[in-house]
Amino acid sequence: MPPPAPGCASCASRDVVIEELASANARLAERVAGLERLVGRNSDNSSMPPSTDDLPGRKAPSRKTGKRSERRRGKQPGAAGAGLPRVDNPDETVQVFPETCADCGVGLADGADAGVSSRQVFDVPPVTVRVTEYMLYKKQCRCGCVTAATPPAGVADAPVSYGPNLQAFVAYLLVFQHVPVHRAAMLIADLTGARPSTGFVHGILRRCAHALGEVMTLVKTLVTGAMVAGFDETTLRCGPAGRKKYVLSASTELCTLFFLGGRDLGSFTEFGVLPGFTGVAVHDRYSVYDNRAFAGVGGHQICCAHILRDLQDAAEVYPGQHWPEQASRALRALIVGWHQALDGGQARVPADVTGPLVSQFRHAVRVGLSQVPSVPGANAKQLPGRSLLECLRDRQDDLFRFCSDTRVWPTNNISERDLRPLKTQQKISGRLQSTDVTRDRLTIRGYISTAAKHRVDIITALRDAMTRNPWTPPIPAPT
């Protein structure tokens, strides 16, 4: 392009247009890059669940590089088999005799015994509703007082009612198996012959949750007093259309607790765990966990699974840079070392394991900081990966805390597993209309999860709750 002629208004106007177009093109290029990065989110480079990886327009996770395993799918050669074992004392024995000879057709009523073989069949007997009538008698004492018999546990103060077994089954279907209310009523009718209304089925949520108040208060106390607990949060479409809420979770290896609210400091405070928690909190990099309102927390462990996904994202944004892969490799090796130390009964990961790996990790972070420069300005938008690198530089004590104490988990997978069923519920229900009923669901879900972690049968635990005698987690002995 020829240089502008001195004093030429047309040339000056042309230069202004070119500058505006170049600026607009730069903004559009930045926007396209941001949209491509957003569409490229998947379970490898973000906290998105694997179930979203094959959605239309979504970029699938890249295949892992390196040597592929030669193992075939399914059962491996030499692996122990599993089958349906015979029992020594069957519930019922049925004798089956041949009636006629297979050769000549003569009757065998008087035939001699020639041996026997057996077949065991495991089956479920037909389930039909049984009606039990309780006759509550009254008796009069010599003093004149008339005393009525007290109904047994699980018998409602009503002329006709459904019993605790059926109520526990309803709660199990609604909360644990995510069956919608109408379909749960149909399923019970088809299986048992009982025909509960949808109103009764839906009302079980409130009835069961109300019976669990004291138990879940104890669970909150146990979580608050734990040495290590994981904290997480996830969105849930709940309430009026167009709005969302957050489910906050607090989990240990034996307890689970949920809270429905927002993602703000007030909700975390109202949840009531972090304000009194003095153990090690395992969580992601969300800033609320570090708020000074929770200054009593004894320590933080940043979830390494989140960090690995963020490093994978950085590797895709900067394909020519080696620091994301080096940091990921070192962090994965440290997690392997933690598992080996834990399995070996060691209190910490040996220094000869952590030393070289931590050094490699720190070197990768320093290289990343030099290759992804900071954008000046208090409110300036930083380049992708810069905030991650600054966190990895400034919070290494919170990142490697699991190396010095094997009681601390390197990842928050326990909390993520506890929250995952709620996403399944949302996929089935779409939107949970009532905030109050959703809170009841979360109460029951926390109770079920806690019971399952203690290896307690879920149906039995729910039946106990419906008889107003819920299962209670044991209080650990002081150490």
Q: What is the pLDDT of residues 133-153, one digit of tens each?
A: 999 999 999 898 999 998 888
Residues in the chain: 479
Copy the structure tokens of residue 329: 């490799």
- Could you tell me the CATH number of the domain that includes residue 287? 3.30.420.10
Answer yes or no: is 348 within a domain: yes
Q: Check residue 421 and give its pLDDT.
A: 92
Same domain? For 347 and 394 the reply is: yes
Q: What is the pLDDT of residues 325-371, one digit of tens each?
A: 999 999 999 999 999 999 999 999 999 999 999 999 999 999 999 99
Q: Which of 404, 438, 465 is the last residue of a domain?
A: 404
Q: Check residue 382 and give its pLDDT.
A: 87
**End-to-end Cα distance, the chain:** 81
Same domain? For 422 and 289 the reply is: yes
Higher-confidence residue of 397 and 125: namely: 397
Q: What would the mean pLDDT of 32-53 be, rounded to a whole number?
A: 68
Q: What is the DSSP letter of 176?
A: I
Same domain? For 387 and 425 the reply is: no
Same domain? For 222 and 364 the reply is: no
Q: Which one-letter amino acid corresponds to residue 147?
A: T
Asked which of 5-9, 57-61, 198-202 is least confident by mean pLDDT, the reply is 57-61
Quote the CA–CA distance of 466 and 311 in Å, as a whole number.
48
CB atoms within 10 A of CB 173: 20
Most confident of 120-129, 290-299, 420-429: 290-299
pLDDT band of residue 55 (cuts 50, 70, 90) is: low
Q: What pTM, to 2 d.p., does this model score?
A: 0.83
Same domain? For 436 and 289 the reply is: yes
Q: Which residues lie closer than 8 Å to 337 by C-beta, 6 or more apart?
A: 349, 350, 353, 354, 357, 403
Quote the CA–CA distance of 263 and 291 in Å, as a whole number.
13
Most confident of 18-27, 89-98, 449-458: 449-458
Residue 64 has pLDDT above 70, yes or no: no
Same domain? For 308 and 296 the reply is: no
Most confident of 158-167, 315-324, 329-338: 329-338
Q: Is 282 within 8 Å of 226 (Cβ atoms)?
A: no
Same domain? For 273 and 345 the reply is: no
| Residue range of the domain that includes 269 | 217-301+413-452
Q: Decide: residue 250, CB within 10 A, 0-12 exposed, 13-18 middle, 19+ buried.
A: buried
Burial string for 379-411 (b: 16+ CB within 10 Å, else e) reads: eeeeebbbebbbbbeeeeebbbbbbebbebbbb
Number of domains the chain is built from: 2
Q: Which string of DSSP letters, residue by residue, matches 354-413?
A: HHHHHHHHHHHHHHHHHHSPPPPSTTPPPPTTHHHHHHHHH-HHHHSHHHH-TTS-SS-H
Q: Check residue 53 and give its pLDDT.
A: 58
Same domain? For 230 and 371 the reply is: no
pLDDT band of residue 51 (cuts 50, 70, 90) is: low
Same domain? For 349 and 394 the reply is: yes
Residue 448 has pLDDT above 80, yes or no: yes
Q: Check residue 83 and give its pLDDT.
A: 82
Q: Is 210 within 8 Å of 444 (Cβ atoms)?
A: no
Quote the CA–CA distance of 369 and 323 in Å, as a whole number.
9
Answer yes or no: is 136 within a domain: no
Most confident of 159-168, 311-320, 357-366, 419-428: 357-366
Q: What is the pLDDT of residues 370-401, one digit of tens each?
A: 999 998 888 888 888 999 999 999 999 999 99
How big is the CA angle at 9 (ends 7 and 10), to the nearest 5 degrees?
125
Q: Check residue 54 and give its pLDDT.
A: 61
**CA 239 to centroid of chain Cα atoms:** 22
Same domain? For 316 and 351 the reply is: yes
Same domain? For 419 and 287 the reply is: yes
Q: Which pairs count as long-range contacts for 311-316, CB under 8 Å and 24+ apart, including other chains?
A: 311/388, 312/44, 312/45, 313/41, 313/45, 313/46, 313/384, 313/385, 314/368, 314/384, 314/385, 314/388, 316/40, 316/45, 316/62
Same domain? For 311 and 443 the reply is: no
Answer yes or no: is 310 within a domain: yes
Q: What is the pLDDT of residues 203-258, one digit of tens each?
A: 999 999 999 999 999 999 999 999 999 999 999 998 888 889 999 999 999 999 99
